[in-house]
Homo-oligomer: A and B are copies of this chain.
């Protein structure tokens, strides 16, 4: 949200919801570039600002938005009241800049709703048990919104964004990608963890846990967006809901490590100590004594991961460390995979037809991922999208009966 015009635009949405008979609670984020400006002010004074103080500073952005929003609603003749995270006892842990919500006291909001007021809540922020202000990190305002919807017993939470919903894949790469009418929480979690932006994982987790539907829609248009919800039977006919490509990845292969219990544990403990986040892990035996252990990481962690592996190479009795930073990961996601077979076949043959070599494969219950050459990544995504008909709305795709 940015400045007076945007706030006025948002008040119109709120008034429309009131006219439909709803009680309305709005969670707002900071205006336009304000968070960036505050961070710049901080860095000017301290290149490495203490996180507690950074939260104390950044939380003012949302506080300003909600008070201005309340003033705009008052000017339009509506009674509104704004709250900071602290004022509604949005209690988090004390992990500053990336705190997790522990509880929220909905009473104060209910009291105001019962008085007929519109309630505006500053997103992205809470307080810890000692009243220190905390912030929730990326996607924080979405998480606030879903957490509040949960605490208030709301049936639906609307998230207004700069896109009009969730697409079957990235439309910048596969131009015929279509907007989904709905998607299950589990699918959305997989897509979000595969880097499909829009919704932050924690907001979706909250929605799943407490069964609050999340309606992702455009701030600029009236039309319906995408509903994130629990699975409904119709969803099962669709095997693949969405596809993703991740390009900022690297892969490390530890060839010929001693095939004995504890070596994998040692490897990943050492990576954790080096603060490297590991995505996927693949292990294969190559003899009774030796195995290959591979894992993928974000490319920004590559240097740290290489260093960590050199450190324990001898201990693992590893023959060779092989690094690839020229890869892309193509994934398909769908809850239908739980009950349907043939997804892997279809995926591999789509890639084979397009003459794309597969480096390695990982799967989860509702996802299959292939690592390919980065240079072939976009071509691979397009081939996969066409194979799974991701250019068509779900109801028009070929149905599978299991």
Closest-CB distance, A334 to chain B (whole angstroms) = 45
Tell whether, in the assembled complex, residue A46 and residue B75 are in contact, meaning their CB atoms are under 8 Å apart.
yes
Closest-CB distance, A16 to chain B (whole angstroms) = 19
Tell whether, in the assembled complex, residue B82 and residue A44 are in contact, meaning their CB atoms are under 8 Å apart.
no
Closest-CB distance, A59 to chain B (whole angstroms) = 8
A67-B57, A82-B56, A131-B86 known; A7-B74 Cβ under 8 A = no
7 sample A-B contacts, Cβ–Cβ < 8 Å, listed by A number: A4-B44, A45-B71, A46-B71, A56-B82, A57-B71, A59-B63, A87-B132
A47-55, A249-257, A346-354, A364-372 - interface stretch: A47-55
Q: Is A1 an interface residue (CB 8 A)?
A: no
A7-B45, A60-B60 known; A52-B68 Cβ under 8 A = no
Q: Is A70 an interface residue (CB 8 A)?
A: yes
Residues of chain B lying within 8 A (CB to CB) of residue A63: 56-57, 59-60, 63
Q: SS class of chain A's interface: helix, strand, loop or mixed?
A: helix
Residues of chain B lying within 8 A (CB to CB) of residue A8: 45
CA distance A140 to B60 in the complex (A): 20
Q: Which residues of A contact B (CB under 8 A)?
A: 4, 7-8, 38, 41-42, 44-47, 49-50, 52-54, 56-57, 59-60, 63-64, 66-68, 70-72, 74-75, 80-82, 84, 86-87, 131-133
Tell whether, in the assembled complex, residue A68 and residue B50 are in contact, meaning their CB atoms are under 8 Å apart.
no
Tell whether, in the assembled complex, residue A60 and residue B64 are in contact, meaning their CB atoms are under 8 Å apart.
yes
Residues of chain B lying within 8 A (CB to CB) of residue A45: 4, 7-8, 68, 71-72, 75
CA distance A70 to B46 in the complex (A): 10
Closest-CB distance, A368 to chain B (whole angstroms) = 47
Q: In the complex, which residue of chain B has the Cβ closest to the Cβ of A131?
A: B87
Tell whether, in the assembled complex, residue B50 and residue A4 are in contact, meaning their CB atoms are under 8 Å apart.
no
Interface centre among A53, A81, A82, A86 (most CB of B within 10 A): A53
